[in-house]
Amino acid sequence: MARILFIQTQPVAFPGLYHICGTLKSAGHQYDVLATNRFNIIAKHINEFRPDVVGFPCLTGMHREILTITALIKKQFPRCKTILGGIHPTLFPEIINKPNVDFICRGEGEWPTKELLDAIDSDSVSFDIPNISWKKNNHIYHNEVRPLIDPLDSLPFPDYSIYKKIPPIASDTYPIVFIRRGCPFTCTYCNNSSRMELYKGKGRFVRSFSYERIFAEVDSVIFHYQKTRAVLLHTDDLGSDINWLSGLLIGYRSRFNVPYNCQIRPEFINEKLTKLLKETNCHMIAFGIESGSEKIRKKFLKRNYSNEQIINAANLLKKYGIKFRTYNMVGFPTETQEEMFSTLKLNIIIKTNFPWCSIYQPYPKTELAEFCISQGYLDKDFNYEDVPISYWSDSIIKNIDRNFVLNLLCFFQLFVLFPGLFTIFKFLLKMPHNKLFKVVFKVVYSYICIKSERRSISSYIKLAYANRKNYK
């Protein structure tokens, strides 16, 4: 049977690979997963495993490094085919024009990857496979995107063992289980609207796994991550259907003693839901504030909830003893320093347990990026090559105080946890950005991750060390 080696450039679990590998396993194909960006390790593994295809989960920003690696692979191992999947090739299929990319997969990748390996197995010279784009004689073929998988339970069971040979990931104490697919919201800074357009007329965009399938996956993830201290039950719209959620969480509590974390929008948080979270062993929930300015949040981001709703949600969570993380961004177009301070102050008012902050990064094919281009906050020729690798690294928005944005990012979490420091050290935000400020950010960020995700210190250090070693 055909062999595929998945290479991810970061030492963290990519949940989509669990499902793709589970589908390949059901068909008898051989696969392996490697988490590194160091080509000497990659070359050694290719020599040992001898894959027919090398695949990369590809995010915008990371694509540049992946293309560098594909070029090295094609030079040393010309018989190996390369395929890129994930959100970047889904939204920017022109990446297949790069000379070292043989295939891309757009959208859901389980069945297309399996069918691609089937075709390679049969020595096919044609790849008329929905979701797959490919090349032949300098001509590029883009096949149609297939309907969305529905019901989700029709997917073969995922393989949660794929990281067992990668110690920093295998020792993780905070694994993730996806319980639904698809997001019903159209936030302007997110690419979800583009995905909705891609799948228009292709079936229900938001779908759920059954309770029994979810519980079976939790069983499997706890078995393979034996040091699990909390499970992240992930979806983008939890709380919109309280009856479905009640059945899920009550069932979870009856079967598992391991606490769970989840993400719920603040407008869905009410007394009934908060009491349910308390009774079913919820350790923490997360919700997005994004901006403390209602004008920024509603007009520019399409997050249509008020500060009052955020405060009420936080008060309910405090009442029932549910800790919460808030997601925040700074550096939006038109955003003033006072509006950025309002984000900080709102977090202080609600006494956020675990504040999280990033710099707004514009992504092509999003409504807010188009606004930035039209108003001169981005160059007219802005494209995905301009996107930084991380939303903590820098701001590329023009006509804003970049130094202030970078400094506020570094001290945001610290000032929320210790609000007295904001009054005393507010002047730091006007100082030249420097390495010491970055160290402060990393230390506080690490503390928040360890506490909010119930991670063991040792497992977190292993992940952090592996990431640093990767990029040494």
What are the structural domains, with CATH classification, of the chain? 3-142 (3.40.50.280), 173-454 (3.20.20.70)
pLDDT digits (tens, 9 = 90+) for 204-236: 999 999 999 999 999 999 999 999 999 999 998
pLDDT at 138: 86
**Are the beta carbons of 353 and 284 closer than 8 angstroms?**
yes
Q: Sign of torsion, CA 411 417 420 423?
A: positive
The backbone torsions φ and ψ at residue 124, rounded to the nearest 5 degrees and listed phi first, read -65, 145
Q: How far is CA 246 from CA 6, 238, 251, 342, 408, in A?
A: 37, 11, 8, 35, 39
Type of residue found at 68: T
| Ranges under pLDDT 50 in the chain | 471-472
The backbone torsions φ and ψ at residue 325, rounded to the nearest 5 degrees and listed phi first, read -105, 145
**Are the beta carbons of 207 and 150 closer than 8 angstroms?**
yes
C-alpha R_g of the chain: 23
**What is the SS3 assignment for 200?**
coil
| Of residues 338, 330, 340, 336, the one with CA closest to residue 361 | 330
- DSSP H helical ranges for 5-107: 15-27, 39-49, 63-76, 87-91
Q: For strands 207-208 and 180-181, give the pairing.
A: antiparallel
Which residue has 């993730």 as its token pair? 176
How far apart (Å, rounded) are the C-alpha atoms in residues 260 and 229? 9
pLDDT at 471: 45
Residues forming beta bridges with residue 233, ordered by sequence position: 177
Q: Please count the residues of the chain.
A: 472
Q: How far is CA 43 from CA 46, 74, 126, 273, 410, in A?
A: 5, 11, 28, 51, 38
The backbone torsions φ and ψ at residue 29, rounded to the nearest 5 degrees and listed phi first, read -80, 155
pLDDT at 41: 96
Tokens of 269: 């948080």
Residues forming beta bridges with residue 88, ordered by sequence position: none
How far apart (Å, rounded) are the C-alpha atoms in residues 435 and 406? 11
**Are the beta carbons of 37 and 11 closer than 8 angstroms?**
no
How far apart (Å, rounded) are the C-alpha atoms in residues 436 and 417? 19
**HSE on the CB side for 65, CA within 13 Å?**
21
Most distant CA pair in the chain, distance = 69
Residue 199 neighbours by CB distance under 10 Å: 18
Tokens of 321: 């003893």
